[in-house]
Amino acid sequence: MRILVVEDEPKVASFIRRALEEESYAVDVCGDGLGGLDWAQTVNYDLIILDLMLPGLPGVEVLKRARAADVKTPVLILTARSEVDQRVKGLDAGADDYLTKPFAIEELLARARALLRRAGGAPTGVLQVEDLILNPVTREVTRNGQRLDMTTKEYALLEYLMRNAGRVLTRSMITEHVWDLDFDTFTNVIDVYISYLRNKIDKGRDRSLIQTVRGSGYMMRTDA
Amino acid sequence: MKNASIRVRLTLWYGLALALILSLFAVSLYLVMSRALREQVDASLEEAAAVAIRTLGEHRFGPFLIFEDLSQDFPEIALLDKFFQIFGPAGQVTIQSANIQSREIPLSQTAFRAALEGGVTFESVQFEKGVPIRLLSFPVRQGDQLVNILRVGTSLQSTERMLHRLLIGLYIASPVALLVSLAGGWFLAGRALRPVHVLTQTAQRIAAGDLTQRIQTPHSNDEIGQLASTFNDMIGRLEVSFRQIRQFSADASHELRTPLTITKGETELALRRPRQADDYRMVLESNLEEIDRMSRIVDELLFLSRADLGEIKLKMLPVQLDDLVREVQQQATVLGQDRHVTTVLNALEPVVVLGDDLRLRELLLNLVDNAVKYSCDGQTVTLSLQVVDQRVKLTVQDMGIGISPDEQTRIFDRFYRTDEARAHASKGSGLGLSICKWIVEVHKGTLSVHSQPKQGSVFTVFLPLSHASRPDLPQV
């Protein structure tokens, strides 16, 4: 899951980024409105966290223009003003949820999960492919009732595969959703992480869930 | 009465005054009328008596036994709506007119005695059945001898009836007039007081918090019109200051909310799981920075609110301003070291101003600190101090990010920071220039800015020149 954070206060942006990264999301930070709009239109993000008080272009304007440019990514707005009209303007401009500063980190993460879940179409949030179960709230992964420990990147990759179970995911799609802008596309990091995942969830089992689609990428199988 | 409205009180006072006037008028009218009517009756009696005596005198007061004969002979008597009696010298009736017929109206003792002495008597008596009559007894003399007493009488009934009618008319008309006037007074008082009512309603809406309300002022310049426009002026000023206060507290809470968001977020994040000691140290250092920022904002806010209340005492003494500028220039050099921003002195004339040393230093430091903060790396800040037109001119010039024209008017507002300023240096409370402005103004000076985006800004302070040449000698 890849998230864009548009926030001008560097320290606020920094701790939001660290918190999200600890939850194994890929995070990009942009400090001004115009840049944020540009990125939102260029990269296919899974979630945008947008501060409303921005230099250059106000947050509400960024949102309006992004929506006008057909960006359908869920947007969570942050506002320093608890005043109702700011939130109303934000929501009317196309935001999906809001948080007022100062906010609790756990609440930010929970709202981010909720928005990602809503976009993914799984109402309870728990992802399941056959006997493989992933719970985004507890970040627990089990197969056949057996608990599997994951690193944050492995977890992020698995979550992305499971959310898109049955679909072929190309390496560039995986890159875009699981890794951030600092990722070097010329390495075979994705193949390496896929093999780590296979070791943990498929090794020694009757059925392999992660399939390689020759020439294209990978797929989480759903057919029985 | 104390609790009654002005309208009720006005109407009641008006009614009371009117009732008094009406009663006085009615009583006087009645008295004058009755007197005039009586006089008229008396005059007609005298006239009738004179006619009778003249007529009788022509006939030498012959003994007329029958009134019909008399009236035949003297038709002018019969025409009079009076009755006549002629008494003999002993007071006995000799002749009386037919309209008395057999009724006895004897001569009174008083009239008889007066007649004996040659006097005329007017009397009012009640005839039988209570009919009031007026009588005139007139002696007819020949030489010293009383020959006859002529009495002329007339009924007062019509007079009394007229007076009675007048009385009834007054009894009915006065209360009606009073009631009509009271209603009119009530209406007029209401009309006169309606602007006051409107005023009250507007004031109530304003009291409920709606300061956009204004009173519809009549175009007249009367008392109410003046009151309304005074009231409107007052509300206008209130509205402005309320808006400023609201803006101010919104800005203040925003400025405080950012460091709060940072400290809260960073601390919560650090506590989510065990961390390395270095991570904790970084969080604590960052939090300390934010706490410093908040306490500076709070200090500056406190300073400004005390300044607003006039609680800040200044020690106005002659200050050698050029020394101060030199000191601040040295401090600024240290401030700009990391980013290679140098601060240089251009013109520096020896100048003395009357002022508070500490506050003037704060003013200079704030301006120079801003200039350094909003300069780009490697640029120069220039200070100059001159005497121009008997005033002290101090300028602080930078080549930094500059301020757009429409923002130049707002930078002295509390908490106002331009987007460029926020982006360039996240620290800063947005209160520094407000404080500078206050300091300059208490020193009876002016503070202005000339700036162009991306070219830099010049802040110019004008202060009155002090005539004290030696700062070590206090002058006030």
Beta pairing, strands A97-100 & A75-79: parallel
- CATH level 2 (architecture), domain B6-161: 2-Layer Sandwich (3.30)
- pLDDT per residue over B222-271, tens digit each? 777 788 788 888 888 888 888 878 777 777 777 888 889 999 999 999 99
**Chain A residue whose CA is closest to B420:** A55
The closest of A147, A157, A156 to A210, measured between CA atoms, is: A157
How many residues in chain A?
224
Q: Is B144 on the interface with A (CB under 8 A)?
A: no
Q: Single out the residue of B399, B387, B404 nearest to residue B342, CA to CA.
A: B399
Question: Where exactly are the structural domains of chain B?
Answer: 6-161, 223-308, 317-464
User: pLDDT averaged over chain B?
Assistant: 83
Does B264 lie at the interface with A, CB-CB under 8 angstroms? yes
At B218 the pLDDT is 63
Contacts of B265 (CB under 8 A, 6+ apart): A12, A15, A16, A19, A102, A103, A105
Average pLDDT across chain A, whole number: 86
Q: Residues B392-423: pLDDT tens digits?
A: 999 999 998 888 888 888 888 887 777 777 76
User: pLDDT tens, B185-229?
Assistant: 889 888 888 777 877 887 788 777 777 777 776 666 777 778 878
Enumerate the H helices of B208-276 as residue ranges.
223-271
Classify the complex by whether its ipTM is higher than 0.90, answering yes or no: no
List pLDDT tens digits, range A105-146.
Answer: 999 999 999 898 887 666 667 888 888 898 888 888 998 888
Residue B130 DSSP one-character state: G
pLDDT at position A68 is 92
DSSP3 helix / strand / coil % (chain B, rounded to 5):
55, 20, 25
Kindly report which listed range (A61-65, A70-74, B250-254, B275-279) carries the lowest average pLDDT score: B250-254
Check B261 against A103: CB less than 8 A apart.
yes
Contact between B265 and A53 using a beta-carbon 8 Å cutoff: no
Residue to mutate among B258, B275, B279, B415, with most A CBs inside 10 A, is: B258
Phi and psi at residue B250, to the nearest 5°: -65, -45
Query: Is B223-308 in CATH node 3.90.420.10?
Result: no
**Chain B residues with beta carbon closer than 8 angstroms to that of A81:** 250, 254
Mutate: best of A6, A20, A105, A106, partner B, most B CBs <10 A: A105
Domains, chain A, ordered by start: 2-120 (3.40.50.2300), 127-220 (1.10.10.10)
Question: What is the token pair recorded at B329?
Answer: 């220039």
The reported pLDDT for the residue numbered A48 is 95
The CATH number of the domain covering residues in B317-464: 3.30.565.10
Pairing of strands A2-6, A26-30: parallel
Measured at the CA of A122, the angle between CA A117 and CA A123, to 5 degrees, comes to 85
SS3 per-residue string spanning chain B: CCCCCHHHHHHHHHHHHHHHHHHHHHHHHHHHHHHHHHHHHHHHHHHHHHHHHHHHHHCCCCCCCCHHHHHHHCHHHHHCCCEEEEECCCCCEEEECCCCCCCCCCCCHHHHHHHHCCCCEEEEEECHHHCEEEEEEEEEEECCEEEEEEEEEEECHHHHHHHHHHHHHHHHHHHHHHHHHHHHHHHHHHHHHHHHHHHHHHHHHHHCCCCCCCCCCCCCCCHHHHHHHHHHHHHHHHHHHHHHHHHHHHHHHHHHHHHHHHHHHHHHHHHCCCCCHHHHHHHHHHHHHHHHHHHHHHHHHHHHHHHHCCCCCCCCEEEEHHHHHHHHHHHHHHHHHHHCCEEEEEEECCCEEEECHHHHHHHHHHHHHHHHHCCCCCCEEEEEEEEECCEEEEEEECCCCCCCHHHHCCCCCCCCCCHHHHHHCCCCCCCHHHHHHHHHHHCCCEEEEEEECCCEEEEEEEEECCCCCCCCCCCC
**Interface A:B, Cβ pairs < 8 A:** 62
Confidence category of residue A82, pLDDT binned at 50, 70, 90: low
**Cβ-based interface (< 8 Å): residues of A facing B:** 8-12, 15-16, 18-19, 22, 31-32, 53, 55-56, 80-81, 83, 101-106
From the CA of A216, how many Å to the nearest CA of chain B? 39
Q: Which stretches does DSSP call E strand in B97-164?
A: 121-126, 132-142, 145-155
- Cβ atoms of B72 and B97 within 8 Å: the answer is no
Which of the residues in chain B have pLDDT under 70?
1-3, 58-81, 97-103, 127-129, 217-220, 423, 425-427, 468-476
**Structure confidence at residue B474 (pLDDT):** 47
Quote the pLDDT of residue A163: 85
